[in-house]
Amino acid sequence: MSLGYLEILILIPLLAAVGILCGLPARPAALAAAAVNLVWGLFVWMNFDPSQAKGLAPQMPNPERLIFSDPKIALSLGLDGMSLVLVLLTVLVTLAAVCLSPGRALSGAQARLYYASPLLIGAGALGAFLSTDLFFFFAFHELALIPTFLMIGMMGHGEDRVGAAWKITIYLSVGSLVLLAGLLALVGASDTGSFSLADLQAAAAKGAFGAAEQKPIYLTLLIGFGILIALFPFHSWAAPAYAAAPAPVAMMHAGVLKKFGLYGLLRVAVPLLPLGHQAWAQWVMVLLLGNILYVGLVTIAQDRLDKMLGYSSVMHMGYVFLGIVAVNPIGVNGAVLLMFAHGISIALLFALAGELRKGIPLLDMTMMGGLGKSAPVLCFLFGFAAFASIGLPGFANFASEILVFFGGFSGYHGGPLGFLQITTVLALWGVVISAVYMLRAFRHIFQGEVVASRTVTDLGWNGRLAAGLLVLVLLVAGLVPSLILDVLPGSVQVILGQR
């Protein structure tokens, strides 16, 4: 049985994780698998032809493997520009997460679980982003959640790590059940008897989803995906979970896996149910302002770095939602680019927070100060990550946020502001809020007087290479955003119904 190129992309981390759990040397095997998968992901990128990519038409030899015929469920993988961008995000963050794992500090079963978990999360995310069948789209995401729950509960930080593990388990399990109900309703309404996205797209083009059906199905999908994304007011699980999670798990979930819900909205809900999307758009605008403004103010109030980063991640999801509800090429391009930029920048921040935790377990910023003197490289890289997060020009976050804001005013030709334009103006205040909390954190941690007994060892070479790679990606994608945007036209056409 021959393997397709995209199947290999999923199998490399999956088989490596299984091998590590069965006794392979944990760190060498994980590093080798993550590095090879990055190379393979770059090979897929280099061989991708944007001119031929519309929807999820496979760009590589990749056979469909039929599992059930009635209803039709098949392991089928495909690639378009949007999924390609998220594949690149996944392989980059996976390698960085493995490099920044604690090395010799762990041994035996702990080390095996620690190094296998980022690979399993990465394999699940890759499977979800590449699946063209809704059953496997859902199943791969659930696979990635299992090590997330286990790692927070078993190897997390803080006295309340078990409570945080239960909270994220309950929230995301409920979100998954709601999402599953929405996907089943979508398949049932199509009368195709198939979970294939291609079949559902064909049914939608023929008018299978009437206006009366679209509104409740879209709402169900929005709630399911919204819980997984941490859309306000379903956001309270995220910050405690990320604060308790080991750094590699926080990197993988906040940087990669949380993008599954946003990807699902753009891949499934918006193109198949455009009338449902239109019906609930104003409500989504109100909720995304909750992410940006309310959660942003909560972020400012945090004294612990890990919780501040957790709330910051939740806050920035509001910008992506703004690009999605704009439903125009500029906004959607900005949303996809921001998914990539945020994934890299928040993974970098959680990685550096993990290094700080080695010397300051509670990450209480009020008890820090002057660490730039003892850890200059860590200070330098944290500064880059902070500047990227607040949208400083030159970084990918700036390019993506500008597109999102321009998307909010695309088609506006003067006169009274519409609901979308008012939402965009209010969302601009989030830029100020994010600058306040991130620059405050940098000042508390790295500047000022040195706090006695609060020293941190500077990054080793593994950490420098991993963090430096992420910074380089943010700069390249920020200075030349066309590298990302040029692969997206086919995806954007399908999302907007311009087939």
pLDDT at position 120 over 60 = yes
Average pLDDT over residues 433-442: 92
When the pLDDT of each residue in the chain is averaged and rounded to a whole number, the result is: 87
pLDDT band at 26 (very low <50, low <70, confident <90, very high): confident
Report residue 107 CA to chain centroid gap. 30
Query: What was the pLDDT predicted at 190?
Result: 83
Domain count, the chain: 1
Evaluated on CA atoms 237, 391, 492, 59, the torsion sign reads negative
In terms of Cβ atoms closer than 10 Å to its own Cβ (0-12, 13-18, 19+), residue 202 is middle
Cα–Cα distance, 392 to 484 (Å, whole number): 18
Query: Which of 87-96, 142-151, 211-220 is predicted most confidently?
Result: 87-96
The CB-side HSE value for 450 (13 A sphere, CA atoms) comes to 10
Cα–Cα distance, 353 to 393 (Å, whole number): 24
Of residues 111, 105, 132, 131, the one with CA closest to residue 30: 111
Burial 53-74 (b: 16+ CB within 10 A, else e): bbbbebbbebeeeeeeeeebbb
Query: What was the pLDDT predicted at 110?
Result: 80
pLDDT at position 61 over 70 = no
Report residue 18 CA to chain centroid gap. 24
Q: Domain residues for 353?
A: 5-495
Q: How far apart are the first and last CA of the chain?
A: 34
pTM strictly above 0.75: yes
Which residue would you say has higher pLDDT here, 400 or 71? 400
Coil, strand, or helix at residue 158?
Answer: coil
Please answer whether residues 13 and 119 qualify as being in contact, where contact means their C-beta atoms are separated by less than 8 angstroms.
yes
Please answer whether residues 228 and 144 qualify as being in contact, where contact means their C-beta atoms are separated by less than 8 angstroms.
no
Cα–Cα distance, 248 to 254 (Å, whole number): 10
Cα–Cα distance, 264 to 321 (Å, whole number): 12
Q: Which two tokens mark 374?
A: 């003892």
**What one-character DSSP code corresponds to residue 105?**
G
